[in-house]
């Protein structure tokens, strides 16, 4: 019976502790509204998701537009806080920003140390290589060779994937992510493992590049918003926000602007390595999305990538037959 006061004191202390935690979680959302600023962390090196344009200083891309929508829904101003892939998690834990949106894949490891929202865009690891090698690098086994030079930026999941799955390849770490596609195209390296959105984007800008596995990436996942631990109320708000953006069609609109709008849907046509049936399927999918650039496939190009003459003749015959049916 003499210990009863201590038990009550312990109960009071626990209650105060939990009450304090509840207040902290509440402040995660209210402090953003209170200061009138949403601090968003971004690496600024990931086209077409979140890229800092050095000419204007502005952030551009799918995630940049999504961050603007989020700040507008909160009624606050958007302010970017630079981070990097090697420091992203520690910067998040240290609350250097309220949240990060820059093409961040939802992983169990990240969820162990911080908070992540629900997914808002599907993604996956795929291959970016030179067009003449599109048939060559279509499996991990084909890439996992000492003579194959794989180039990645430091600290992100691309580097981790390469180290885990391509231990025999020659791994080159390059500090500037947006320079890697150009280095691949010019022959300084052979392969970049990256997300399907980034591979598609750079292929749309440079005909020397190919992304032969856009439709069948090595992994499948989702992008999400990363938040410091303890920011549950802001995380919950972000989840509701993403749900509304999906329901009202805004996510599809952003996809058409930043992912489909640059002709990305037609990239697999530019770098064929399959059958004519597969080409037709890809072309049909591409035509179902809005595009600003439409590739022109010439006879010489088809010869250059190894499409044999009987396939060309078969295609010509099929077009002729369908044309007569339509008359």
pLDDT, one tens digit per residue, over 243-261 is: 999 999 999 999 988 887 4
Domain residue ranges of the chain, discontinuous segments joined by +:
4-123+221-260, 125-219
| Whether the predicted pLDDT of 303 surpasses 60 | no
Angle between helices 232-247 and 4-35 (to 10 degrees): 50
Tokens 């709008």 locate to: 261
At 63-95, the pLDDT tens digits run 999 999 999 999 999 999 999 999 999 999 999
Query: Quick check: 149 and 190 in contact, CB under 8 A?
Result: yes
Share of the chain above pLDDT 70, in %: 72
Q: Is the pLDDT of residue 317 over 90?
A: no
pLDDT of residue 13: 45
Q: 256: which DSSP letter?
A: I
Token digits for 183? 């280095």
Token code pair at residue 200 = 């598609």
pLDDT value for 26: 53
- In this prediction, residue 286 carries a pLDDT of 45
Q: pLDDT exceeding 90 applies to what percent of the chain?
A: 65
pLDDT in tens, 222-236: 999 999 999 999 999
Which stretch of 10-14, 40-44, 58-62, 64-68 has the lowest confidence by average pLDDT? Answer: 10-14
User: Sheet of 50-52: strands edge to edge?
Assistant: 45-46, 50-52, 59-60
Strands 99-105 and 37-42: parallel
C-alpha distance from residue 77 to each of 71, 80, 84, 308 (Å): 6, 10, 22, 57
pLDDT tens digits, residue range 88-119? 999 999 999 999 999 999 999 999 999 999 99
- Flag whether pLDDT at 219 surpasses 70: yes
CB 125 within 8 Å of CB 161: yes
CA atoms within 13 A on the CB side of 127: 32
Q: d(Cα 315, Cα 101) in Å, to the nearest integer?
A: 45
Span between the terminal Cα atoms of the chain, in Å: 99
d(CA 280, CA 318): 12
Q: What is the DSSP letter of 231?
A: -
Place of tokens 């940049």: 64
- Residue 181's φ and ψ, nearest 5 degrees, are -55, -40
CATH number corresponding to 4-123+221-260: 3.40.190.10
- Average pLDDT, rounded, for the chain: 80
Is the pLDDT at 300 greater than 60? The verdict is no
Between these two residues, 182 and 327, which has the higher pLDDT value? 182
Per-residue pLDDT at 27: 76
Angle 62-74/232-247 helices, nearest 10 degrees?
110
Residue 150 pLDDT > 60: yes
Whether 33 shows a pLDDT value over 50: the answer reads: yes
- Residue written as tokens 């990538």? 305
Tokens of 302: 């088809």
CATH assignment, 125-219: 3.40.190.10
């Amino acid at each position: 019976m003499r210990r009863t006061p201590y038990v009550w004191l312990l109960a009071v202390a626990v209650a105060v502790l939990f009450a304090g935690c509840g207040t902290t979680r509440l402040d995660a959302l209210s402090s953003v509204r209170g200061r009138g600023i949403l601090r968003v962390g971004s690496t600024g090196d990931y086209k077409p998701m979140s890229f800092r344009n050095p000419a204007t200083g502005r952030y551009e891309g799918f995630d940049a537009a999504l961050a603007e929508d989020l700040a507008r829904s909160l009624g606050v101003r958007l302010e970017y806080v630079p981070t990097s892939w090697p420091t992203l998690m520690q910067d998040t834990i240290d609350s250097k920003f309220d949240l990060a949106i820059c093409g961040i894949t939802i992983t169990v490891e990240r969820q162990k140390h911080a908070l992540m929202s629900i997914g808002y865009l599907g993604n996956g690891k795929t291959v970016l290589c030179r067009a003449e090698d599109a048939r060559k690098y279509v499996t991990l086994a084909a890439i996992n060779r000492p003579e194959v030079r794989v180039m990645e930026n430091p600290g992100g999941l691309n580097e981790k994937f390469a180290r885990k799955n391509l231990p025999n390849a020659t791994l080159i770490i390059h500090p500037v992510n947006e320079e890697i596609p150009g280095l691949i195209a010019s022959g300084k390296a052979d392969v970049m493992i990256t997300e399907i959105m980034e591979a598609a984007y750079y292929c749309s800008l440079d005909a020397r590049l190919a992304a032969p596995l856009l439709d069948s990436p090595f992994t499948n996942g989702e992008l999400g918003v990363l938040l410091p631990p303890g920011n549950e109320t802001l995380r919950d708000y972000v989840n509701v926000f993403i749900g509304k953006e999906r329901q009202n069609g805004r996510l599809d609109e952003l996809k058409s602007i930043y992912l489909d709008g640059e002709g990305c849907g037609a990239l697999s046509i530019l770098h064929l390595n399959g059958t004519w049936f597969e080409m037709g399927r890809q072309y049909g999918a591409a035509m179902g999305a809005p595009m600003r650039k439409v590739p022109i496939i010439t006879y010489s190009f088809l010869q250059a990538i190894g499409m044999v003459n009987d396939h060309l003749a078969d295609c010509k015959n099929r077009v002729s037959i369908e044309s007569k049916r339509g008359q």
